[in-house]
């Protein structure tokens, strides 16, 4: 059963990451994207006060599942875990964190632009 949970959490993670990065592109998903960006930033920054900067409850839950499956020494980041798994390398956590932060910041700025700035310009 834990293997199914792990698989479902992986899919859920990949959908969240993909939507965080690309959800601003399609007009029908822009509002939902902005909400997810706020939730993600809130998790990383607000919950991060208590659990550490960049905290993700989905990662926390998945790591509990992986621990039940016998995996140990899991990184703080799902993105690092998956990048290492796909590449077969031990990619620098600092590099992964920087790339994640930059990608997220760009997507957040684009979300604000398309939801608020460009929208006002079209109303004129």
pLDDT at position 122: 61
Torsion over CA of 116, 49, 14 and 117, rounded to 10 degrees?
10
- Six token digits for residue 124: 């004129």
| Number of compact structural domains in the chain | 1
79 pLDDT above the threshold of 70: yes
CB 94 within 8 A of CB 42: no
| Arithmetic mean of pLDDT over the chain | 95
33 pLDDT above the threshold of 60: yes
> Band of the pLDDT at 118, cuts 50, 70, 90?
confident
CB 44 within 8 A of CB 55: yes
Going by C-alpha positions, the residue among 1, 27, 16 that lies closest to residue 79 is 16
Residue with tokens 């140990």: 72
Residue 117 structural domain: 2-123
74 pLDDT above the threshold of 60: yes
C-alpha count within 13 angstroms, C-beta hemisphere, residue 4: 1
């Amino acid at each position: 059963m834990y293997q199914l949970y792990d698989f479902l959490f992986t899919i859920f993670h990949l959908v969240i990451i993909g939507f965080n990065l690309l959800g601003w592109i399609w007009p029908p998903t822009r509002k939902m994207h902005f909400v997810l960006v706020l939730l993600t930033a809130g998790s990383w920054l607000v919950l991060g006060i208590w659990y550490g900067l960049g905290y993700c409850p989905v990662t926390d839950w998945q790591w509990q599942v992986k621990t039940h499956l016998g995996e140990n020494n899991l990184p703080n980041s799902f993105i690092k875990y998956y990048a290492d798994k796909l590449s077969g390398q031990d990619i620098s956590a600092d590099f992964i964190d920087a790339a994640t932060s930059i990608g997220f910041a760009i997507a957040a700025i684009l979300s604000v632009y398309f939801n608020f700035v460009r929208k006002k310009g079209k109303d004129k």
